[in-house]
Amino acid sequence: MAIILSGMHFLESFKANISQIGLGNLLKVLGLIAFMAFLIFYPASVPRESSEAGPGVDYAYVEHVLASYSDGVHGYSYGICGYSVESRPIYYYVIGEGNETILILGGLHGDEPKGTYACLEILANLTESEYLLKRYRFVVIPLCNPDGAATFRRRNLRDVDLNRDFYDFSQPETQAIRRIFVESSPVLLIDVHESLSGEPIIIYANNTKSRLLARFFSLETDIPGFLAADVGQSANFAEKNGIYGVIIELPILSWKYKNGSIIVWRFIESWARFERNGMHIKERYAPHRLNVDLTCGVGGKVFDGRGP
């Protein structure tokens, strides 16, 4: 009873003090509390194995996971497609027997570990999806910027934003990605990132096929789509090569999305449905059939800035 009375007294005091504090100050206090909660709980949202590297990516853990998946069964394999500025190997993983290749990138920005861990979890999920493995060949580069990941910084060791280097290819990391791209000839490029947004978003290449795919996925999932700014992003590279290209931005606090892999997995399944239904879907979502613009209902916004 004493606890109940104390609680009621607290509520009465709280109501009385709101008018004195003012709504603006109250919102500031709540914002500070939310920020402190983020600082406390964000490290817990990445796998426990990465704890030695703080909130970033544990490079040895990435190597360990890749090696554990590469047991020679069903043609699974992994290798090195290049080296970073500081000579760290950039690993790629190949799984699946299909004629069409899907290229998945993670960790282009070293301070966005969700992309890398989502890629690793996707590899584990793919081993259990016989349908997808028979239909497609997946090439996954979980950690494209190992130097940035080692220091938990966005750019590479030469202070270059790798997701602005897909026109010049001036860095060894993007050159390694281009090499794999040329060798594998993918029909779809998925680049997985992490943002401060509380919800996932899709950023799509500026070509008709990518717009239709993003629109289809948005209607299936209610995840909004944005047009990729023409600044040398991976999606721009996909556009120039005439293939499907999307950047998936995972929310930084993503417990309900299992480090974001659920979102990426839903996109892969959505892609399979989109392609399986062929022209039926493409005609249904063609530009002249839509009552909204092809930016998935977000007013034609072009996405750039700090995000991807």
Which tokens sit at 295? 């930016």
Chain segment 156-196, per-residue pLDDT in tens:
999 999 999 999 999 999 999 999 999 999 999 999 999 88
Segment 24-40 shows an average pLDDT of: 49
Question: What pLDDT score does 13 carry?
Answer: 57
Asked if 57 and 192 count as a contact pair (C-beta separation under 8 A), the reply is: no
Segment 224-236 shows an average pLDDT of: 95
Is the residue at 29 inside a domain? no
Question: Considering the entire predicted model, what is its pTM?
Answer: 0.76
Residue 202: give its domain's CATH number: 3.40.630.10
User: Is the pLDDT score of 16 beyond 70?
Assistant: no
Is the residue at 122 inside a domain? yes
Is the residue at 46 inside a domain? no
Segment 269-294 shows an average pLDDT of: 60
In the chain, % of residues over pLDDT 90: 51
Sorted by sequence, the CB contacts under 8 Å of residue 131 that are 6+ apart come out as 272
Chain segment 111-155, per-residue pLDDT in tens:
999 999 999 989 888 888 999 999 999 999 999 999 999 999 999
Question: What pLDDT score does 3 carry?
Answer: 47
Question: What pLDDT score does 300 carry?
Answer: 42
- Bridge-based pairing of strands 100-106 and 136-141 is parallel
Is the residue at 3 inside a domain? no
54 residue type, one letter: G
The whole domain housing 152 covers: 56-303
- Judged by average pLDDT, the poorest of 17-31, 175-189, 284-298 is 284-298
User: Is the pLDDT score of 53 beyond 60?
Assistant: no
d(CA 30, CA 25): 9
User: Is the pLDDT score of 12 beyond 70?
Assistant: no
CA 74 to chain centre: 27
Chain segment 233-267, per-residue pLDDT in tens:
999 999 999 999 999 999 887 555 666 788 999 99
Question: What pLDDT score does 143 carry?
Answer: 95
Sorted by sequence, the CB contacts under 8 Å of residue 266 that are 6+ apart come out as 220, 221
Segment 286-290 shows an average pLDDT of: 41
Is the residue at 200 inside a domain? yes
Sorted by sequence, the CB contacts under 8 Å of residue 189 that are 6+ apart come out as 102, 103, 104, 105, 181, 234, 235, 237, 238, 243, 244, 245, 246
Is the residue at 262 inside a domain? yes
Asked if 42 and 55 count as a contact pair (C-beta separation under 8 A), the reply is: yes
Question: What pLDDT score does 9 carry?
Answer: 56
Chain segment 55-99, per-residue pLDDT in tens:
577 777 777 776 676 655 555 788 899 999 999 999 999 999 999
Question: What pLDDT score does 48 carry?
Answer: 36
Question: What pLDDT score does 195 carry?
Answer: 86
Question: What pLDDT score does 260 carry?
Answer: 78
Question: What pLDDT score does 76 carry?
Answer: 72
Is the residue at 51 inside a domain? no
Is the residue at 27 inside a domain? no
More confident call, 23 vs 79:
79
- Quote the radius of gyration of the chain (alpha carbons, Å): 22
Q: How many domains does the chain have?
A: 1
Segment 19-36 shows an average pLDDT of: 53
